[in-house]
Each structure stands twice: as C-alpha cells, then as structure tokens.
C-alpha cells in the first residue's frame, strides 16, 4: 500500500504568498496576512505529496486529523517553507510532524494524520452516500 514509506522520511515545499492567500478571503474584518486555512492546506499538501511518492496504483490518502498551531503572522509577499516528517506508521495510518517557516521565523507546527485508501472502494462509498441523499 505504502511501499518504501518509513518513519523519518521528510519532504518540504515552498510557497510565495500572494494576495489570494489573505485571511481577508475568509472574513472581511481579519488582518491582511497569510491565512491559517492556507497554512493548514499547505501542511496537508506536503504530507500527501510524500505519501503519494510511495503509493501502489489505485491507492490514495485522505486526511483524518490535524492539530495545528499558527504561531506567528506572515506578511503577504513572503515565502513560506513547510517541512513534514513521518513520525509513525500504524497499518494504513501515517502520522506526521509538520513545521512551517517564513523568511524570518517559525510560523506554525502541526501533527497531521493521513489514512491510505483504495480509491475505487472509497469512491464507491461516496457515491452510495450521495445516492441516499440526492436520489435521481
């Protein structure tokens, strides 16, 4: 399922923050700084990308938990680096430690859990749920 995925593996990504990453996209009366939802999304993205490099065909991963702390604001225009590390693998569950840094300081940290799934089985469950709630 996750061939070659081991505790201690790391991956990082960077993002140049732009106006569309502003907290004001979520509510008008927030500071015009890099938004927490985008930070969480970046953290999920880097973890999913690491897992994806080790998945067998037909497999995917889904997020199952995130305990995120947004520690410091980042002005728009700065670059952010997010680094994840696999800290535990329990069957199909993979746990990550994630840290984020802007050009000045550490801005966030999280523990993130992802679960390995068989895409066809998962999609069939989603379709069945949709059929129950939205009959043709």
Q: How far apart are CA 58 and CA 75, in angstroms?
A: 40
Single out the residue of 68, 80, 70, 76 nearest to residue 104, CA to CA: 80
Domains annotated for the chain, with CATH where assigned, are 10-133 (3.10.129.10)
* Active-site option among 21, 54, 70, 112: 70
* Active-site option among 36, 85, 99, 109: 36
Q: Is 36 a catalytic residue?
A: yes
pLDDT at 10: 98
* 3-class state of residue 127 by DSSP: helix
- What's the count of helices (H) and strands (E) in the chain, helices before strands? 2, 5
Q: Is 28 a catalytic residue?
A: no
Q: How far apart are CA 44 and CA 116, in angstroms?
A: 14
* 3-class state of residue 3 by DSSP: coil
The tens place of each residue's pLDDT in the chain, 136 residues long, gives 567 999 999 999 999 999 999 999 999 999 999 999 999 999 999 999 999 999 999 999 999 999 999 999 999 999 999 999 999 999 999 999 999 999 999 999 999 999 999 999 999 999 999 988 887 6
Q: Is 6 a catalytic residue?
A: no
pLDDT at 55: 95
Q: How far apart are CA 35 and CA 17, in angstroms?
A: 10
Burial label, 86 (beta-carbon count in 10 A; 0-12, 13-18, 19+): buried
pLDDT at 1: 58
């Amino acid at each position: 399922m996750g061939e070659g995925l081991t505790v201690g593996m790391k991956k990082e990504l960077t993002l140049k923050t732009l106006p569309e990453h502003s907290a004001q996209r979520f509510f008008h009366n927030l500071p015009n700084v890099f938004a927490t939802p985008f930070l969480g999304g970046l953290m999920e993205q880097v973890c999913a990308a690491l897992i994806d490099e080790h998945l067998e065909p037909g497999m995917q991963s889904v997020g199952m938990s995130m305990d995120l702390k947004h520690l410091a604001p980042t002005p728009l225009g700065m670059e952010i680096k997010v680094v994840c590390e696999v800290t535990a693998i329990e069957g199909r569950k993979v746990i990550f430690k994630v840290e984020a840094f802007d050009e000045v300081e550490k801005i966030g940290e999280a523990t993130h859990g992802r679960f390995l799934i068989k895409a066809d089985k998962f999609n069939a469950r989603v379709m069945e749920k949709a059929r129950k709630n939205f009959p043709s």
